[in-house]
Amino acid sequence: MIDQKQQENVESFKYLGSILTNDGRCACEIKCRIAMAKTAFNKKRTFFTSTLDLKLRKKLVECYIWSIALYGAQTWTLRVVEHLESFEMWCWRRMENISWTDHVRNEDVLLRVKEQRNILHEILKRKANWIGQILGRNCLLQRVIEGKIKRGIEVTVIRGRRRRKLLDDLKERRGYSHLKEEALDLTMWRARSGRGIGPVVRQTT
């Protein structure tokens, strides 16, 4: 109750442009962001599929379309990445006017646009830079991200499979103690994060 007014319990709401849900997951936000980015692409499709230089068109897609899709991506917990990878291929296929009925493999599309799978790499870079700023401080947000409450007690789940946490994507590449130690030097953190998280190459069709 705020100002003697009963507040309504809702399953989701939008805050600062992002969708927050009562289960704390980001699947709904990711799907919404992808839908918004596809709409923006279709509005300017003649521009992205024009006879402009390929390198220029790719830069425009990454700057104009990916910036919409990846808004707030540094706070995402990447449990399922198929939607993001499919969106990345969707952009390159639409840019080159390749229909699914043409039966062109993803590998061939990437060769045609001279690209690798980079969208997950971009998300992890953004996450590393953002988390590096947080772990380098002694603040409430740091303790929330680490999953700790009063007296340093870590929040645990008794039953069921452990839920994936915000830091798990980066912990998989280096231990947490190293993660926090490197974050104290932001220059070193950005340099190592940029080199240590390479483009993702998958053998999928």
3-state secondary structure labels for all residues of the chain: CECCECCCCCCEEEECCEEEECCCCCHHHHHHHHHHHHHHHHHCHHHHCCCCCHHHHHHHHHHHHHHHHCCCHHHCCCCCCHHHHHHHHHHHHHHCCCCHHHCCCHHHHHHHHCCCECHHHHHHHHHHHHHHHHHCCCCHHHHHHHCECHHHCECCCCCCCCCCCCCHHHHCCCCHHHHHHHHCCHHHHHHHHHHHCCCECCCCC
Walking along the chain (205 residues) 10 residues at a time, the average pLDDT comes out as 74 76 80 93 90 91 92 81 91 92 92 91 81 72 64 51 63 61 66 51 43
Asked if residue 19 is part of any domain, the answer here is yes
Question: What is the model's pTM?
Answer: 0.71
Residue 79 sits in the same domain as residue 148: no
Residue 175 sits in the same domain as residue 90: no
Residue 83 sits in the same domain as residue 56: yes
Residue 157 sits in the same domain as residue 78: no
Total number of domains in the chain: 2
Residue 68 sits in the same domain as residue 112: yes
Residues 50-65: tens digit of each pLDDT: 888 999 999 999 999 9
Instruction: Express as a percent the part of the chain with pLDDT over 70.
Output: 67
Q: Which domain holds residue 136?
A: 123-196
Q: Which of 117, 150, 170 is the last residue of a domain?
A: 117
Residue 39 sits in the same domain as residue 131: no
Asked if residue 203 is part of any domain, the answer here is no
Asked if residue 205 is part of any domain, the answer here is no
Q: Which of 100, 117, 134 is the last residue of a domain?
A: 117
Residue 127 sits in the same domain as residue 111: no
Asked if residue 143 is part of any domain, the answer here is yes
Residue 61 sits in the same domain as residue 113: yes
| CB 129 within 8 Å of CB 70 | no
Asked if residue 129 is part of any domain, the answer here is yes
Asked if residue 154 is part of any domain, the answer here is yes
Q: Which of 117, 132, 163 is the last residue of a domain?
A: 117
Asked if residue 38 is part of any domain, the answer here is yes
Residue 80 sits in the same domain as residue 107: yes
Q: Give the pair of three-digit tokens for residue 73.
A: 């991506």
Residue 146 sits in the same domain as residue 162: yes
Residue 46 sits in the same domain as residue 72: yes
Mean pLDDT of the chain: 77
